[in-house]
Amino acid sequence: MIRRAVYPGTFDPITFGHLNILEKAAKMFDEVILAVADFTGKNTLFDLAERTSMCRIATSHLSNVVVDSFDGLIVDYTRKKESAVMIRGMRAVSDFEYELALALTNKKLAPDIETIFLVPNLRYMYQSSSLIKQLALLSSALDDYVPACVIKAFETKKK
């Protein structure tokens, strides 16, 4: 049986922090599906196709990672993919309450699916997509935060 995990998120855009979590998960599971959410309750800068495309390019070095997008509940998607595990990154204490609420709500919806939290390396602890978007708007260098394909996408957006 394939041990498959789903790593869901908005990925608006994907960052080195997300990739750090994904690389750890890829070592633990036979296959990891990076699932880009269509409905996230957030106003995204990049549309679903743009976010998914950046994720595909940024993860092309990981042979057991598949990039997909989904609409609807993440637990339904995870079940459909015959997985019983969702991965989430836990950065600082500030993530804890939100992540706990998310995990417990998902648990109530789908008791058969577990959420596993992975901690990123120290240097990625305080990164977030919102902060990176602010830096991009203010034309700050982004090389430490996001892959080249994302930098290119920001440049295209600004034009």
Active site residues: 18, 42, 91, 129
Which of these ranges, 24-32, 37-45, 52-60, 149-157, lies near ligand COA under the rule CB under 6 A?
A: 37-45
Shorter beta-carbon distance to ligand COA: residue 31 or 40? 40
Q: Does 83 bind ligand COA (CB under 6 A)?
A: no
Dump the DSSP string for the chain: ---EEEEEE--TT--HHHHHHHHHHHHHSSEEEEEEES--SS--SS-HHHHHHHHHHHTTT-TTEEEEEE-S-HHHHHHHTT--EEEEE--SHHHHHHHHHHHHHHHHH-TT-EEEEEPPPGGGTT--HHHHHHHHHTT---TTTS-HHHHHHHHHHH-
Q: Does 8 bind ligand COA (CB under 6 A)?
A: yes
Q: Does 134 bind ligand COA (CB under 6 A)?
A: no
Shorter beta-carbon distance to ligand COA: residue 10 or 59? 10
Residues forming the site for ligand COA (CB under 6 A): 8-12, 15, 17-18, 21, 37, 39-40, 42, 73-74, 89, 91, 102, 105-106, 120, 124, 127-130
